[in-house]
Amino acid sequence: MKLDRIDKKILKQLQQDGRMPNAELANCVGLSPSACLRRLRNLEDNGVIERYAAILSPQKIGRNMSVFVEISLSSQSEEALAKFEKAVANSSEIIECHLMGGDADYLLRIAAANPEDFERIHRDHLTRLPGVAKMRSSFAIRSIKNQHALPIA
């Protein structure tokens, strides 16, 4: 889908406030409410807008420790990758997983409450992932930038 200037304005506004009422959004982007709603539905129908979500404060829910875990598998066969990815998808403790190029096969992000909580996650979830040959964890000391909005040219 080719995005025009108005579509990009809509997307920028919604990335800042996904709960913005349509009338307010229409005013911000210079459209009538009905025209804005048509464009919004088109962006949703074409998959440009995948979903709407609330962004939670890790500190307020007691999950303010970010841990990044590099995973190397013992095999890169299609079957091994599929088993690993299915297990990750079924783990509620793993909040991000990326297939990587480079030294590690995957990069995971875990949100833990504290070191003891990460120990539990490591013991109960990470060590049970299939095909893992090597794991290396790094702890974030402080987040400098944690932006959820994607840049729109």
Helix (H) or strand (E) holding 102: none
Mean pLDDT estimate for the chain:
96
pTM over the 0.75 mark: yes
Contact 104, 70 (CB under 8 A): yes
Annotated domain spans of the chain: 5-45, 65-139
User: pLDDT confidence of 1, banded at 50, 70, 90?
Assistant: confident
For 105-133, what is each residue's pLDDT tens digit?
Answer: 999 999 999 999 999 999 999 999 999 99
User: pLDDT confidence of 25, banded at 50, 70, 90?
Assistant: very high
Provide DSSP, 117-153. Answer: HHHHHHHHTGGGSTTEEEEEEEE-S--S----SPP--
Residue-level pLDDT at 99:
97
Average pLDDT over residues 80-109: 97
Average pLDDT over residues 23-41: 98
Cβ-based neighbours of 111, under 8 Å, separated by 6 or more: 58, 63, 64, 65, 66, 67, 95
Question: What number of residues does the chain have?
Answer: 153
> Could you tell me which CATH number the domain at 65-139 has?
3.30.70.920
d(Cα 12, Cα 52) in Å, to the nearest integer? Answer: 14
> Could you tell me which CATH number the domain at 5-45 has?
1.10.10.10
Residue-level pLDDT at 140:
96
